[in-house]
Amino acid sequence: MEIRIKYFEGAVRLKKIAKGNWIDVYANKDMFIKEGERAMIPLGFALELPKGYEAHLAPRSSTFKTWGIIQTNSVGVVDDTYIGDNDQWHMPVFCLQGKDLNEDVKGTFIKSGDKIGQFRTMEVMGDIELLEVDSFGNEDRGGFGTTGKK
């Protein structure tokens, strides 16, 4: 599959990681995010996703450990209509644990080029019809959080 990409000034060029099914994304701006505050980190690119595809944007496993930030919407979903020339991707984050000081203010520095997230493309869910029933006729598993318990 080929996907057209437009880069904004100073953006790191993207490539699929060798081990895995995700593409790393990079901050495209130097920022200081105060502890307890949120920010939208520009990622420096726009994509033209093919019809019928969406992208899932998530933090890397090291994002919190390195910068003390979490993605505010857990996983971002970008659909195939967000394809304009100025539809730059951003990563919404919250600074939960500042790692740096800036003029005696605790927070975290994000530098342009920092590898802060990742995304993958997925086919969108096909058409479904929800059929309302009174019972499934199946055995209950035990509720949320029951797998792996002895």
**Residues annotated catalytic, as ranges:** 79
- DSSP letter assigned to residue 19: S
Total residues found in the chain within this entry: 150
Cα–Cα dist 36/64, whole Å: 14
Instruction: Encode 3-28: b = buried (16+ Cβ within 10 Å), e = exposed.
Output: eeebeeeebbebeeeeeeebbbbbbb
The DSSP bridge pattern shows strands 76-78 and 23-26 to be unpaired
By the 8 A CB rule, do 33 and 27 touch?
A: no
Amino acid at 59: P
